[in-house]
A and B are shown apart, each in its own frame.
Chain A
Amino acid sequence: MAGTAVRGRLTWQVATVTAVRPETASVRTIEFDIPHWAGHEAGQHVDIRLTADDGYVAERSYSIASAPGEPLELTVERLDDGEVSPYLTEELRAGDEIEIRGPIGGYFVWDGHDARPPLLLVAGGSGVVPFRSMLRHRARIGSTVPVRLLYSARSLPDVIYRTELDMPGGGAEVVYTLTRHQPPGWAGHSGRVDADLLTEVAWPGDHRALAYVCGPTAFVEIVAGELVSLGYPPDRVKTERYGGVAAP
Chain B
Amino acid sequence: MTERLYGPDDSALDGNAIGGLLHQVFGTEMTTAEATCGHCGKTALVAEAVVYLSALGAVMRCRTCTSVLAVVVRKQEMNCVDMSGLAALQTG
Are A and B part of the same complex? yes
For chain A, residues 205 to 236, give those with C-beta under 8 angstroms from any C-beta of chain B.
Answer: 216-218, 221
Which of B8, B23, B32 meets A107, CB within 8 Å?
B32
Chain B residue numbers with a CB within 8 Å of A46 are 20
Interface size class of A (residues with CB under 8 A): 20 to 34
Residues of A within 8 A of B28 (CB): 5, 7
A107 with B45: in contact, given A7-B28, A8-B27, A47-B20 (CB under 8 Å)?
yes
CB distance from B89 to the nearest CB of A (A): 15
Q: Is the CB of A107 within 8 A of B16?
A: yes
Residues of B within 8 A of A61 (CB): 16-17, 19-20
Which chain A positions have C-beta within 8 A of B9? 217, 244
B11 within 8 A of A: yes
How many whole Å from B91's CB to the nearest CB in chain A?
Answer: 9
Instruction: Tell me if A101 is interfacial: C-beta within 8 Å of chain B.
Output: yes
The interface bits of chain A over 90-123 (1 if a CB of B lies within 8 angstroms of the residue's CB, else 0) are: 0000000000011011111000000000000000
Q: Is the CB of A244 within 8 A of B11?
A: yes
Give the residues from 5 to 61 in chain B that come closer than 8 angstroms, CB to CB, to chain A.
Answer: 8-17, 19-20, 23-24, 27-29, 31-32, 45-48
| 29 examples of A-B residue contacts, CB within 8 angstroms | A1-B92, A9-B23, A9-B24, A10-B20, A45-B19, A46-B20, A47-B20, A61-B16, A102-B20, A105-B19, A105-B29, A105-B47, A106-B31, A107-B45, A107-B47, A108-B16, A217-B11, A221-B8, A239-B14, A240-B14, A240-B16, A240-B47, A241-B12, A241-B13, A243-B10, A243-B13, A243-B17, A244-B9, A244-B10
Nearest residue, chain A, Cβ from B47: A107
| Chain A residues engaging chain B, CB cutoff 8 angstroms | 1, 4-5, 7-10, 45-47, 61, 101-102, 104-108, 216-218, 221, 238-244
| Chain B residues at the A interface, C-beta cutoff of 8 Å | 8-17, 19-20, 23-24, 27-29, 31-32, 45-48, 92
Question: What residues of chain A lie closer than 8 Å to B16, measured between beta carbons?
Answer: 45, 61, 105, 107-108, 240-241
